[in-house]
C-alpha cells in the first residue's frame, strides 16, 4: 500500500492545474452564449509551452461538466480541444476535466491563497 501511495503522490506532484476561462482563454464577455469566442490571455501560449516541458498540464473548467448543454452540437470539452488546436497548443495539454484535479499547483483567476481564516475573513 505504501508503494501505491508513493506512486500516486509522485504522479500528482508533477501536475499543474490550469483554469480555462480568464487564465488561458481571455473570456472578455463571460459566459456569453457558451461558445469559446476570445483569444488567449496574453502570455498564456508561451507559459503553457514552458510549463509542459516540466509538468503535466491539466485544464479544469466548468465548461467540461457533462450536464451542460451542447453548444453547436459539441460538448464543452470538444470546444476547448478545438480552441486549443486553433492556437496550436492542444499537444501541450494532457487532460481537460470538470473536476479539480490533484496537483502541485493551481492557477486560477478567481482563487484566493488561504493562509488562515482570520486573514481570509478580512479579505472577504
C-beta of residue 20 within 8 angstroms of C-beta of residue 101 = no
Distance CA 57, CA 119 (A): 30
Tell me how many domains the chain contains. Answer: 1
Q: Residue 58: enclosing H or E segment and its boundaries?
A: strand 56-60
Judged on CB neighbours under 10 Å (0-12, 13-18, 19+), 101 is middle
Note the pLDDT of residue 3. Answer: 74
Q: Which CATH number is 23's domain given? A: 3.40.50
Read off the pTM: 0.88
Give the contacts of 71 (CB within 8 A, at least 6 positions apart): 33, 34, 35, 79
Give the contacts of 1 (CB within 8 A, at least 6 positions apart): none
Note the pLDDT of residue 8. Answer: 60
For residue 75, give its domain range. Answer: 2-123
Note the pLDDT of residue 7. Answer: 60
pLDDT at 10 over 80: no
The model's pLDDT over 11-57, given as tens digits with 9 standing for 90+, comes to 668 999 999 999 999 999 998 999 999 999 999 999 999 999 999 99
Amino acid at each position: 500500500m505504501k508503494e501505491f501511495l508513493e506512486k500516486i503522490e509522485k504522479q500528482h506532484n508533477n501536475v499543474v492545474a490550469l483554469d480555462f476561462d480568464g487564465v488561458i482563454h481571455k473570456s472578455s464577455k463571460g459566459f456569453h452564449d457558451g461558445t469559446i469566442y476570445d483569444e488567449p490571455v496574453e502570455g498564456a501560449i508561451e507559459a503553457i509551452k514552458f510549463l509542459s516541458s516540466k509538468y503535466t498540464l491539466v485544464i479544469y473548467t466548468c465548461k467540461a461538466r457533462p450536464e451542460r448543454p451542447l453548444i453547436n452540437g459539441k460538448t464543452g470539452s470538444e470546444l476547448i480541444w478545438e480552441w486549443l488546436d486553433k492556437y496550436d497548443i492542444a499537444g501541450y495539454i494532457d487532460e481537460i476535466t470538470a473536476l479539480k484535479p490533484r496537483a502541485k499547483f493551481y492557477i486560477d483567476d478567481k482563487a484566493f491563497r488561504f493562509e488562515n481564516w482570520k486573514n481570509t475573513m478580512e479579505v472577504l
